[in-house]
Amino acid sequence: MEEGRGNRGYPAPIWPGSIRIGWIGVGVMGAAMAARLEAAGYDLTIYARTTSKASGLHGRLVASPAAAAASSDVVFTMVGHPSDVRAAILDPVSGALPALPSGGVLVDCTSSEPALAVAIAAAARKKGCFAVDAPVSGGDVGARDGKLAILAGGEQEVINWLSPLFDLLGKVTWLGAPGSGQSGKIANQIAVAGSVVGVSEALVFARKVGLDEKAFLEAVRSGAAGSKVMEIFGERILQRDFKPGGFAEYLVKDLGMGLERGGGGGPEEMVVLPGGALFQQLYLGMVANGDGKMGMQGLITVFERMNGMAKE
């Protein structure tokens, strides 16, 4: 056990200046989350594949995930796809885990595969480190405001130890063993996708029959049809603001993981998801139209095209 480390081997306690943080991935979500940690007084060592995306951050930029991890106690990853997670963490030359000091903690906030989270946790323990899968929900607004839902899988004691950092980003909920956070995120994405489908289709119907869309939203938002999705995306849809909090193509990926694996990190079981399959097909329509880099609220453009109502 290293001097100054807790009884499980990771540093204790957490406060600005007491731990070193590495951050890998500074897209829309990652940059906002990293900025919250910096604003709280934490110093970050940052790896950004596109360095210009880190321009709003103050941390030290390094050339690889390994370099970000080598001098860190906790390393966050917020990248795009499971293949990016695998490369950023497990690559034997440039990956974070091979370079992470003993007792270090990996926190993957990417929406990724439950089975990969299980494999990373096993590899981390073999090295004397810890790994938590902690994907988030709440979009760019939640990331900026520190109101993300954080769905965590891994050792509960480690997640509790990380709570001062998680509290700056949102509310963390421990869901179980490694992979459970990712399974929870897949379930979340099924629910979110369905809600966006409902809001989009309702607005297209309202417009088609001559209702004022803004008045319609105001009328129903406090009733049973109201939802967090409506609050986040309703006005954006009316304003034709399709900037991404997360790319629509990422939602296609997340739904695909649910359809392929049923979200399970353990023994796989068949899960029939007819709604999830339909939602993915609709979002694939966005991708086919060249709109995969839009936010998920851009789904309304698919319904508009179906109804001959396409707008610029």
For 274-308, the pLDDT digits (tens) are 999 999 999 999 999 999 999 999 999 999 999 99
Residue 185 is among the residues annotated as catalytic for this protein: yes
Question: Which domains are present in the chain?
Answer: 21-177 (3.40.50.720), 184-306 (1.10.1040.10)
Residue 108 and residue 132 in contact, taking contact as beta carbons nearer than 8 Å: yes
pTM: 0.91
Longest C-alpha distance within the chain, in Å? 70
pLDDT at 271 (0 to 100): 85
Average pLDDT score over residue span 44-50? 97
Catalytic residue among 53, 127, 147, 185: 185
Average pLDDT score over residue span 14-34? 91
pLDDT at 160 (0 to 100): 94
pLDDT at 13 (0 to 100): 61
pLDDT tens digits for range 55-64? 999 999 999 9
pLDDT at 269 (0 to 100): 63
